[in-house]
Amino acid sequence: MTPAPIAVALDAPDLETAARWAALVTPHVTTVKIGLELYLRYGPDVIASVRGASGVQVFLDLKLHDIPNTVAGAAKAVSRLRPAILTVHAAGGPAMIRAAVEAAPDTQIAAVTVLTSLSEADLSRIGLAGPASDAVRRLAALSVESGATALVCSPHEVVDVRSEVGPGITLITPGVRPAGADSQDQARVATPEQALADGADLLVIGRPITASPDPGATAAAIASSLRRTIPS
């Protein structure tokens, strides 16, 4: 069975748990995502431990956001770990995004547009007037102009972003919740089936899989539901 286009967020408190989750889900998904919690505790070694022997694609989610020279150095430092994908914040601006792209030529740079945890009310409080989709579109366009070939947005904006940037860009959507699941700290959410039907290329799913009693079975169930949504 072909693995589904899901990146399981391994937001685990320790390496043993992350490696166990990775082993359970990798038959069913293409990608595992390592974020700040694991990377800041274990450093670069975490990549090899989680990648294991499976050859699963590793998505390194460090959400770099600093001046271009600093981000270039950071992207270069982690590019030797050969992550398939590395995140930067689109709000760092065109020169910063370009610096990451040039510093890590073998890694796909994914620009995070507007965090899926932010509601419209949060956006207006931080000074981004107008609907989230306007800011997401604007940040998506500038990221692609600056060389990013992947974008992170919520499932709500996938259709808009696709029409803005065209077919060649990888659209990654966190904020994914199976029907009826608690949205927790996520504000702009949709089901995996909806996100995929709207044109997302890779769905980031963490707690709905990893906090379930059987992460392997939950990943398999979501993967099989996605296969029914878009038969290969």
Ligand X SMILES: O=C(O)c1cc(=O)[nH]c(=O)n1[C@@H]1O[C@H](COP(=O)(O)O)[C@@H](O)[C@H]1O
Could you give the residue numbers annotated as active site?
63
> Among residues 20, 65, 207, 227, which is the contact residue for ligand X, using CB under 6 A?
207
Residue 200 contacts by C-beta under 8 Å, 6 or more apart in sequence?
Answer: 5, 155, 158, 171, 172, 173
For the bound state, the minimum distance from the C-beta of residue 129 to ligand X, rounded and expressed in Å, comes to 20
> Among residues 4, 9, 34, 195, which is the contact residue for ligand X, using CB under 6 A?
9
For the bound state, the minimum distance from the C-beta of residue 211 to ligand X, rounded and expressed in Å, comes to 8
**Residues 187 and 119 sit within 8 Å (Cβ to Cβ):** yes
Q: Is 70 annotated as a binding residue?
A: yes
Choices 120-128, 161-169, 200-208, 221-229 (CB under 6 A): range interacting with ligand X: 200-208
**Residues 203 and 176 sit within 8 Å (Cβ to Cβ):** yes
Q: Is 63 annotated as a binding residue?
A: yes
For the bound state, the minimum distance from the C-beta of residue 52 to ligand X, rounded and expressed in Å, comes to 20
> Residue 100 is which amino acid?
A
Is position 115 an interface residue for ligand X (rule: CB under 6 A)?
Answer: yes
Q: Is 201 annotated as a binding residue?
A: no
> Where does the chain show beta strands of DSSP type E?
4-9, 29-34, 57-64, 85-89, 108-112, 150-152, 170-173, 202-205
Q: Is 67 annotated as a binding residue?
A: yes
75-114 mask for ligand X (x: CB under 6 A)?
------------x------------------------x--
Is position 8 an interface residue for ligand X (rule: CB under 6 A)?
Answer: no
Backbone angles phi, psi at 186, to 5 degrees: -90, 140
120-149 mask for ligand X (x: CB under 6 A)?
------------------------------
Long-range contacts of 174-178 (CB under 8 A, 24+ apart): 174/9, 174/116, 174/204, 174/205, 174/206, 175/116, 175/117, 176/203, 176/204, 176/205, 176/208, 177/208, 178/208, 178/222
Q: Binding site: residue ranges?
A: 11, 33, 61-70, 116, 177, 186, 206-207
Residues that bind ligand X (CB under 6 A): 9, 11, 35, 61, 63, 87, 112, 115-116, 152, 174-175, 184, 186, 204-208
